[in-house]
Amino acid sequence: MSLDQYVTLGHSGLRVSPFCLGAMTFGEDWGWGSSVSDSERIFDHYIECGGNFIDTANGYTKGHSEKIIGDHVGRDPKKRDRLVIATKFMSNMFLGDPNGGGASRKAVIAQCEESLRRLQTDYIDLYWMHLWDRFTPIEETMAALDTLVRQGKVRYIGFSDTPAWKVAQAQTLAHFRDYAPLIALQIEYSLLQRTVEGDLMPMARELGLGVTPWSPLKGGVLSGKYKREDHGKHQPGRGARITNLLDERTYALLDLMGDIAREHDTTVPRVALAWLRTRPGVTSPIIGARTLDQLNDNLAALEVTLTQAQITKLNEASKPQLAFPADFVAAGTMFYFGGTTIDGQRGEVWSQAPQSDAERY
């Protein structure tokens, strides 16, 4: 597979690349990231390889990420119109202003205008709510987003980092009020973050939302640079967020990934990305890169096809503990399958059910 083998995003006709380029690293305003020139080179190379999907946010590098994109492609309609530019609202860019961020009608519309100015474009292809604003009624947010769609300033909408029940409420509201529907969900998802398989992923598939996972390498833990023999010597920039994950379970998973990488003559991060692409409901993982080498390494994951045996091993090594009622529902087939096979899944026989006609009243 390659970047120019496009896929439709959720229940929509929007065609996007199988990997989305994350632009959180565009700009050095946070003390790390890529320079403007390096960001442009990374962006250009992604486009040259056939990529068309870029993800940013109003708050990334204090707004500089959006401006870098706007300066580079927003001014040129020939370049801009061939791209799917996604950005997010929520971050307050104006200290002291309670309405400077969030998901109220006032805030959403103002943030959209600010992003359009920085991106130097007349429209945003995909506008994300960055996370749930629990202080604003979801009806107000959905109505504001619908207004932006009807005005032509936004083409599609999606939610990021929001509980499944709230996403479902918003989508149901859109359906019954004839608002613009959600087409996508952006959540953290990786071999080390699979708890989303309890509610968020099944919800997305049921409601027709394409999933664009962020942090597919879990902040670099799945990059292969952390090794058991170096345990205790690591001083990653993200501190405890990384070191808390460096336990025996993670090292065992990394060992397995290393074995699989050698079988394919590839790298550990490519195995992580290849596995994520096999997950039901995943459309376009978001890959971030501060250098061209990192981008090329990630893009090469499109050439890796894992065997079913390898996928099964990775699934078992990273199996999460899901919240109730996930396990109960999964085991529940024995109650209603009657020992048959449905859609390829075999149901266990419930020992408490009638085992013969003579036992049934």
Q: C-alpha distances in angstroms, 95 versus 89, 139, 188?
A: 16, 26, 28
* pTM: predicted TM-score of the whole model, two decimal places: 0.93
- pLDDT over threshold 80, residue 243: no
> In the structure, what pLDDT confidence band is assigned to residue 234 with cuts at 50, 70 and 90?
low
Q: Is 21 exposed, middle or buried (0-12, 13-18, 19+ CB in 10 A)?
A: buried
- Give the whole-angstrom CA distance, residue 259 versus residue 250: 14
- pLDDT over threshold 90, residue 202: yes
More confident residue, 262 or 356: 262
Between 34-38, 190-194, 223-227, 234-238, the lowest mean confidence (pLDDT) is in 234-238
- pLDDT over threshold 90, residue 356: no
> In the structure, what pLDDT confidence band is assigned to residue 75 with cuts at 50, 70 and 90?
confident
Buried b (16+ CB within 10 A) or exposed e, 148-187: bbeeebbbbbbbbbbebeebbebbebbeeeebbbbbbbbb
pLDDT single digits (tens) 127-178? 999 999 999 999 999 999 999 999 999 999 999 999 999 999 999 999 999 9
Looking at residue 52, its pLDDT comes to 98
- pLDDT over threshold 80, residue 235: no
More confident residue, 193 or 232: 193
Looking at residue 111, its pLDDT comes to 98
Q: C-alpha distances in angstroms, 128 versus 52, 159, 212, 358?
A: 17, 5, 11, 59
Looking at residue 198, its pLDDT comes to 96
Looking at residue 352, its pLDDT comes to 87
- pLDDT over threshold 70, residue 26: yes
Structural domains of the chain sorted by starting position, each given as residue range(s) with its CATH number in brackets: 7-186 (3.20.20.100)
Q: Give me the active site residues, please.
A: 60
Looking at residue 335, its pLDDT comes to 87
- pLDDT over threshold 90, residue 71: yes
Give the residue-averaged pLDDT of 111-126: 98
**What is the percent of the chain where pLDDT is above 70?**
97
pLDDT single digits (tens) 271-288? 999 999 999 999 999 999
> In the structure, what pLDDT confidence band is assigned to residue 100 with cuts at 50, 70 and 90?
very high
Question: Looking at this protein, which amino acid is placed at residue 58?
Answer: N
- Helix (H, G, I), strand (E, B), or coil: what is residue 322? coil
Q: C-alpha distances in angstroms, 202 versus 30, 231, 326?
A: 35, 36, 10
